[in-house]
Structure 1
Amino acid sequence: MTLDEANKMTLTKAIELLQRDLDDPGSVDILDLNKAQEWGIEALKRVKEGRQQGLRIYIDLLPGETLE
């Protein structure tokens, strides 16, 4: 596997990896988990930016989220 191939991931795969690690800690390869976490952080940044821009799609709170 090339480095470029290793850096590719779908949103579905990232979600699956994060969920699997929550359900069974340590079951996900650390490099895959780190990449999925990076994607999660980027996704949350985009949600925050969307809210700041007033985009309706981002108005609802995430499960368990509280207002700042």
Structure 2
Amino acid sequence: MAKVTVSLDAELVVEAMVLAGVGNPQDAVELVVRDYIERGHRTEARTATRDEALREVDGKPRNVEG
């Protein structure tokens, strides 16, 4: 896999290290980015499931009263 070098503010990286519970800045930033991506995928999956359920409800023919 290709690698990318990014310069970040030291305080930001230290905060990421504390939150991730790791002592290596590289590992901390990688964990934070991976978690962010996984959350996005979970959100997309929940939204897609809800949208599909709404389509099923809206797609059924309605009985016309009158």
- Please classify the TM superposition score into its range, dividing by the shorter chain length: 0.3 to 0.5
- Find the structure with the greater CA-based Rg: 2
Which protein is richer in helix relative to its size? 2
User: More relative contact order in 1 or in 2 (CA 8 Å, sep 6+)?
Assistant: 1
TM-score scaled by structure 2? 0.43
